[in-house]
Structure 1
Amino acid sequence: MKKIAITLFAAVALMACDKDDDNETVTPNVAIDINFSQNFDGTEVTSADFNSLDYTVEHGEMISFSRMRYLITDITFTNADGVSTIVDEYNFVDVGAGMGASIENISLPAGTYTVSARFGFTEEKNTTNAYNDLNAASWNVPEPMGGGYHYMQLEGQYINDIGVTTGYAYHTISAAQDAMTPNVTREDTSIPFSANNIVISNDNDTVDIKMNIAEWFKPWNLNERDGMLMGNYQAQLDMETNGQTVFTIE
């Protein structure tokens, strides 16, 4: 769908040799894959699990999923010497369409890394209509709600307090102050996350970025907030708070 550009922010030493010795020591590179997956408190969720009211959120509602799309950016590997390698493009995950489940064949020297990433775009990169593939995916945020792009679209159904099955749309964007007015402004609510001591070797050539969907609803009352959230400034701030514990890197 898009090209992954890898930018090295510092030189990575691939070969060390003694000028007085013809012997060379080569640090091998490893081709790694980054895999993106979803779970509900440890139970894997794929498109095969959509449209089943099999999940119970903290507040007690039973919910299902029918759409699950999200954006991860700024994936960075930093080695013990402080050398950073950035996958300097976003990864758009569309679970229902089977898109964005992995980034493959990233070449890195074997070693131990800190791996960091971000949920959503920073404000600097969240530019309206800047990304053609995201435009084609209808990932834009309307200008009256601040413009730019979504961070996530999570949709499905839930059984409400009176026993009626109804829909919800849990959409995260940059928090919009004064939405639907000429004075609308945006606040960056993207979420950085990281993990230390990630070992890259021929025996360990994958990195897993996992989203625990249940954490988005801790706490959350769908009976009070099941839609119209994009223009709700406080709701976006609360979703940012919930999102601090959603993602793990392994």
Structure 2
Amino acid sequence: MKKIIMLLFVIIAFSSCKDEKDCCVNPSKNVSLKFTHNWDGSNISSSDFNNFKFTTKNGESVSVSRLRYVISNIRLINGNEIFTFSNYNLIDIEEEKGFNLTLPEKIFPGSYQLKFTFGFTDEDNKDGVYQDLNSASFNVPGMLGGGYHYMQFDGKYKDTNNADANFNYHVIRAVNRSDPNNLIFEDTSFEVDLGTLSFINDSEITIKANIAEWFKNPNTWNLNELNTVLMPNFDAQILMSANGKSVFSLGEVTQ
């Protein structure tokens, strides 16, 4: 009987030491994201707004008055484990909001894929359900199918007469309104995959958004032809979605 008791004691002690060793050798880590914005490498902040400081690939001089966008389903993936930073996040450069996100739970050291969706997938693009976006006037009118904007990007450009002209580069789910009673939609959100990252310590991941890409890759954007009333323009929305896929890239990872 004493031998059995001693054996149980050894097993319990060994298990306790093992758990303690795992905890101490591989403690869980905090992970945060930081979004930064640039125009072909030159940093952009709200102090740069309303000045003709930028030039598109097509040669138009541009000033920015508003730039805000939504990303959703922001997550780290390790095999079957998925850790979600946020279901969605509104980033507003003018108001300097939404630049930083912290994972609500700690993760163990290891390799994780970092992914998010620009805008909302059709499944998540539910009309009127996100109260903060409603308050921010981020809704899409019912005549265009409802739901939410993916991005509101407004400003001015110098037209062919060197006069100031407005642009409203608004990105939404593409809608074909050829028959107003039978709207045809195409989900123009897209997934951003920033690759696999290895975490050893607490980490901050910088995600860079190059705003110039919206006007150049793969489609060279001509603001003299496509400037306003772009939301109901099905073809323009398809072009925007294609250009957006090169906007985001992985920046510095500090640990």
Normalised TM-score (structure 2)? 0.85
- Call closer, same or farther: CA 1:55–1:160 in 2, change over 3 Å: same
Quote the residue 1:4 is aligned against.
none
Whether 1:244 aligns to 2:242 is no
Q: Aligned to 2:17, which of 23, 39, 42?
A: 23
1:34 touches 1:208 (CA, 8 Å); kept in 2? Answer: yes
When structure 1 is superposed on structure 2, of 222-231 and 189-198 the one drifting more is: 189-198
- State how 1:88-167 maps to structure 2 within 5 Å: 88-104=86-102, 106=104, 107-167=106-166
- Call closer, same or farther: CA 1:43–1:180 in 2, change over 3 Å: farther
Instruction: Give the 3-state SS of the residue equivalent to 1:135 in structure 2.
Output: helix
Report the Cα offset of residue 110 of structure 1: 2.1
Structure 1: state its 5+ residue gaps: 1-17
Quote the residue 1:228 is aligned against.
229
Quote the residue 1:13 is aligned against.
none
Partners of 2:113 and 2:127 in 1: CA distance: 31
Report the Cα offset of residue 20 of structure 1: 7.5
- Call closer, same or farther: CA 1:144–1:198 in 2, change over 3 Å: same
Report the Cα offset of residue 229 of structure 1: 0.2
Quote the residue 1:14 is aligned against.
none
- Give per-residue Cα distances to partners, 1:51-89, cap 9 Å, x unaligned: 11111110000101110100011111112x442212341
Quote the residue 1:195 is aligned against.
194
Which amino acid in the other structure matches residue 193 of structure 1? V
Q: Aligned to 1:207, which of 182, 197, 205?
A: 205
2:83 touches 2:103 (CA, 8 Å); kept in 1? Answer: no
Partners of 1:237 and 1:41 in 2: CA distance: 23
Identity %: 37
- Give per-residue Cα distances to partners, 1:82-135, cap 9 Å, x unaligned: 422123410001111121111135422222211011100000010110111100
Partners of 2:193 and 2:170 in 1: CA distance: 23
When structure 1 is superposed on structure 2, of 103-112 and 122-131 the one drifting more is: 103-112
Instruction: Give the 3-state SS of the residue equivalent to 1:245 in structure 2.
Output: coil
2:36 touches 2:209 (CA, 8 Å); kept in 1? Answer: yes
1:115 touches 1:249 (CA, 8 Å); kept in 2? Answer: no
Structure 2: state its 5+ residue gaps: 1-10
Instruction: Give the 3-state SS of the residue equivalent to 1:68 in structure 2.
Output: strand
Report how many aligned residue pairs link the two structures: 231
2:84 touches 2:103 (CA, 8 Å); kept in 1? Answer: no
Partners of 2:43 and 2:200 in 1: CA distance: 26
RMSD over aligned Cα, in angstroms?
Answer: 1.8
Report the Cα offset of residue 249 of structure 1: 2.9
Quote the residue 1:84 is aligned against.
82
Partners of 1:53 and 1:231 in 2: CA distance: 28
Normalised TM-score (structure 1)? 0.87
1:209 touches 1:249 (CA, 8 Å); kept in 2? Answer: yes
- Give per-residue Cα distances to partners, 1:146-198, cap 9 Å, x unaligned: 11000000111111111111111100000011178222232100010112232
Partners of 2:170 and 2:230 in 1: CA distance: 7
Partners of 1:72 and 1:43 in 2: CA distance: 23
Structure number with higher helix proportion: 2
Write out the 4+ residue segments of structure 1 that deviate beyond 4 Å after TM superposition. none
Partners of 2:240 and 2:179 in 1: CA distance: 20
Report the Cα offset of residue 199 of structure 1: 2.5
Partners of 2:108 and 2:134 in 1: CA distance: 35
Which amino acid in the other structure matches residue 36 of structure 1? F
Which amino acid in the other structure matches residue 73 of structure 1? S
